[in-house]
Amino acid sequence: MRRHPLQKTWILLVLAFLYVPILILAFYSFTDSSIIGSVRGFSFKNYKTLFTEDALRSMMTGTILLALGVSALSTVLGTMGAIGAFYSKKGIRNAIELANEVPVANADVVTGFSVCILLIVVFKVDKATFIPLVIGQTVLCTPFVYLSVLPRLKGMDNALYEAALDLGCKPGQALWKVVIPQIMPGIVSGFMTAITLSLDDYFITTYTKPATFDTISTYVVNATRGAQTSIKTALWALSTIIFLIVVAAVVFMNVKAGGAKNEKR
């Protein structure tokens, strides 16, 4: 049964469903055609537009800077929160975990709308300061950092921390030199999760962003409501570039994981 051809067909069909649209778009991004289906000449014009058009360039740098800033903030907050909660009393820890589940379980629309009401409607914070946007996305990302750091803390050997204290470390030093290195993989994967969440977010961004600022998501959605053809096809190029980056990242991670496995042997 293991070599069942039916299983392979099914897997192929699902893969086709997931990737055919992206691949077709990638193909057409290298042509000068503006509609899928009519092949014309080969061209890099979409890629040229993507990197020369001011609106597109500022949208891309804005998205990346926002993602990096929000992820850094979330990683610091979430890691500190996880360490603190881990050593706190059970009641406090449970309360933190419960609050932590709220943004995870909540719909992004509701999270975005509630942060918008609190900051923009009640406290009259100016959207143009980026404060509502950064806070909104941090609310979304931090719980996931917390959730990826906590298992590392649970799996950590606590005797090492005690040993560091016995050997004359101050608690702060012991934390920095003993605990942090042990939970580092959790911190890194939390940071990566935060990056992908921020890059993918549409709803929180729409409800909290400054009027003139766009991330990839809000820009693309606006563009589907009628944008110039050159902008529309330049987004095909953007989609292709992101796809290639993701593929490269996955291949890199697999190679690294394979390397680690071989080292163990």
Q: Applying CB under 8 A, which of residues 159, 172, 229, 260 lies at the interface with another protein?
A: 172
Q: Could you tell me the end-to-end alpha-carbon distance of the chain, in angstroms, rounded to an integer?
A: 31
Handedness of CA 236, 140, 69, 113 (dihedral sign): positive
* Residues 210-229 within binding reach of another protein (CB under 8 A): 216-217, 220-221, 224-225
Judged by beta carbon, residue 128 or residue 249, the one nearer another protein is 249
Q: Which of 32, 43, 47, 113 binds another protein (CB under 8 A)?
A: 113
CA gap 67, 60 in Å, rounded: 11
Q: How far is the CB of 41 from another protein (least distance, A)?
A: 19
Least spacing, CB of residue 116 vs another protein, in Å: 7
Q: Binding to another protein by residue 37, rule CB under 8 A?
A: yes
Q: Which of 64, 54, 48 is nearest to 198 (CA)?
A: 64
Rounded distance between C-alpha atoms, residue 28 and residue 35, angstroms: 8
Q: Which two tokens stand for residue 246?
A: 């993701």
Interface with another protein includes 163 (CB under 8 A)?
no
| Footprint of another protein on 183-212 (CB under 8 A) | 193, 196-197, 199-200, 202-203, 206-207
Query: CB of 217: closest distance to another protein in angstroms?
Result: 5
| Binder among 16, 117, 128, 184 for another protein (CB under 8 A) | 117
- Measured from the CB atom, the residue of 105 and 159 that comes closer to another protein is 105
Stretch that binds another protein, among 46-54, 180-188, 232-240 (CB under 8 A): 232-240
| Segment contacting another protein by CB under 8 A, of 40-48, 52-60, 180-188, 233-241 | 233-241
Whole-angstrom Cα distance, residue 230 to residue 236? 10
Rounded Cα gap, residues 44 and 112, in angstroms: 38
Other CB atoms closer than 10 Å to residue 95's CB: what's the count?
Answer: 13
Site for another protein contains 4 (CB under 8 A):
yes
Closest-CA residue to 212 (of 135, 136, 126, 146): 126
Instruction: Answer positive or negative: Cα dihedral of 223, 128, 130, 97.
Output: negative
Q: Could you say which residues in the range 48-107 bind another protein, by CB under 8 A? A: 77-78, 80-81, 83-88, 92, 96, 99-107
| Tokens encoding 11 | 């897997």
